[in-house]
Structure 1
Amino acid sequence: MKRYNIAIVGATGMVGRKFLEVLAEKKFPIENLYLFASSRSAGNEIEYQGKKYVVEELTEKSFDRNIDIALFSAGASISKKFSPIAAKKGVIVVDNSSAFRMEKDIPLVVPEVNPDDVEKHNGIIANPNCSTIQSVLPLKALDKKYGIKRVIYSTYQAVSGSGVKGVADLQNGLKGEEPKNYPYPIANNCLPHIDVFLDNGYTKEEIKMIEETRKILGKPELPVTATCVRVPVENSHSVSMNIELEEDFDLNEVFELFNNFEGIILQDDVQNNIYPMPLFASGKNEVFIGRIRKDFSNPNTLNLWCVADNIRKGAATNTVQIAELLIKKGLV
């Protein structure tokens, strides 16, 4: 089996460390592994598969070596600066930030949904927003069969989506301490405020979900709206989805669609209190779907509840899956 030279940018962060965990679980064929981070983290050692690796400071010369794929999760500003440098050196960058998601010539990929888009890359592939990733799997299944007419999202997003600072605010808040990351306490509270507010009244997170859904599904005019809420859950995002379809549907057929769609696990047995929850989605790579029912207030419309680990499927796992896809398609 051919092995590949892999770099991780942001290796000491929450997602960077999860990259390594997922790569190990998937037995990714690595020849040489390079770990990059800021000057503050340079010199630290990280163990991977029984071997210790020294973290290097990320510089403009970091990619002056034979690297096949670089997985980035160090923030949009770092990605904007260093991804083009890496791409010019022949590295394929899979970027987990928001830097390139809506760039016209950069594919935005969820492997179960739009795998062929990776072939359009010019050295950079974008990983979507965490809540978008989990939501487009059921949307793709439904769109292929019935056609999608409109989508309404309401998200319940875990504090790990804000990184270690968000988790600390929840843990410290439960002890009665004041928040340092959020504008209000997140413990015993919900914040209808993720990212910054825009002039139109939406937050940047909500607009991300709207625009990214359209791009991934290849439906630039699809009516989509979203309300994104931070909740006092440590890990795994939940999304309530109201989906209007072009055609009428049979619920049993919808269940069968989801049962047969790669990456989805159906958990919908309400008589036995079986439905998706963050408690059980955390640590898993799949997207969990349940509470599927007809919306009696609108024709051809259904409701569903969608839960996934935002650090895994919403970030690290999807990024690694893109890298696997590049290998499978012979693009690296």
Structure 2
Amino acid sequence: MTDVPAELKELSATLASIEAVLDVPKLRAQVAELEALASDPDLWSDSENAQKVTSKLSHTQGQVRRVEELRSRVDDAELLWEMAGSEGDADSATEVEAELAKLHKAIGELEVQTLLSGPYDSREALVTIRSEAGGVDAADFAEMLMRMYLRWAERHNYSTEVYDTSYAEEAGIKSATFQVKAPYAYGTLSVEQGTHRLVRISPFDNQGRRQTSFAGVEVLPVVESSDHVDIPDDELRVDVYRSSGPGGQGVNTTDSAVRLTHLPTGIVVSCQNERSQIQNKASALAVLQAKLLELRRQQEQAALDKLKDAGNSWGNQMRSYVLHPYQMVKDLRTEHEVGNPSAVLDGDIDDFIEAGIRWRRSA
């Protein structure tokens, strides 16, 4: 039998801890400050800054509203349980028990957000997907993963922008880079970084044999102006070329695509989604700065790991998607698994992300 009062008390205590970590009074003050900025008629003279202000306002308002609604639901459930007990109302008691399950899930999801406390966790995310071993199946798998993340973002009403897609010859993609424009997108998606593995009957094998293929996912925080990643001109090679793949005539008939090579590190990025060469260069430069920022972060982390004598767990195989001979998706770090690969590949990955964030914190 469920001890409803004890569970409600535990949920209330958990929510109180979350409220303290999030500092709800401070969030309310931030909302008031951002609302004042958003009401300034001069704000939209700088559209980029205006979008940042309105996005942060929407996110902060959402945080406050989410906490307040959960607190109200917990208080209402406690009151309804007391009334059900005093009046012998079995229907109300059943209603509270059903609400308990929903509250566990909602408060658990909010608790995960409090675990995103890294220096870049609150940033938007740059995601790069590359096909690895497995030939045309790997290229197809890379495209499946790209769709999975874009569908995940769509489910959450997060805006995305694809910066570059390199199409494979037969099917799928060699690589793609896109941005997820939402607060905490980096902290949320960073646990998706690593090598993903697909096992299935290959649709590209005329003998119908089972094929194992791999794709790599890289997640970076979007660089902000305060990061000051300076790239001297003499360290940069700029190449322009004609865009390829699907697109309008204006994209495919002019040398608007841009490839940047950072000479000291050998890092290469490209962008071909805009008609303007200037716009593509600006987008490519933003991606390059993010990669250099991540390189700096990795170097700092490597120094810490050396001091702690701790190994680096990133870059290893982290999830398997099995479509044959059985149906399963399993995270190899957290042991979380589901039996519906179709739903996962359609963007239903929140449970995997939550498990990954909790695993990273405990590790």
Q: TM-score, normalised by structure 2?
A: 0.21
> More relative contact order in 1 or in 2 (CA 8 Å, sep 6+)?
1
Greater helix percent: which structure? 2
Q: TM-score, normalised by structure 1?
A: 0.22
